[in-house]
Amino acid sequence: MPVLHATVRGLVQGVGFRWFVCRQARALGLTGRVSNRPDGSVEVTAEGARARLDALLIALKAGPEVSRVERVEHVFSEGSLGFGKFVIE
């Protein structure tokens, strides 16, 4: 199963970014997690169909209205991480 690992940089903490990602991922039927990192970025790990991961990546690059995404670093891999749902950490 494809897995997306992404780090989102910019004004992405304190603006509801994790909730935005969680809503998007759940709507797309993806499993995984989203969390704030100490450096001010947001880390996303999502698992599901490649087309749905691509749709999430587009959403990450846009972000919610109050955020300011400067850069999204991402990589796709194969595997199963065993997430039962998409969660905020």
Contact indicator for 70, 53 with CB cutoff of 8 Å? no
Please name the residues in contact with 13: beta carbons below 8 A apart, sequence gap of 6 or more: 36, 40, 41, 42
* Contact call for residues 7 and 43 (beta carbons, < 8 A): yes
DSSP E strands in 29-67: the ranges are 31-36, 42-47
What residues are labeled active site?
18, 36
Give kind and range of the element (H or E) at residue 12.
none
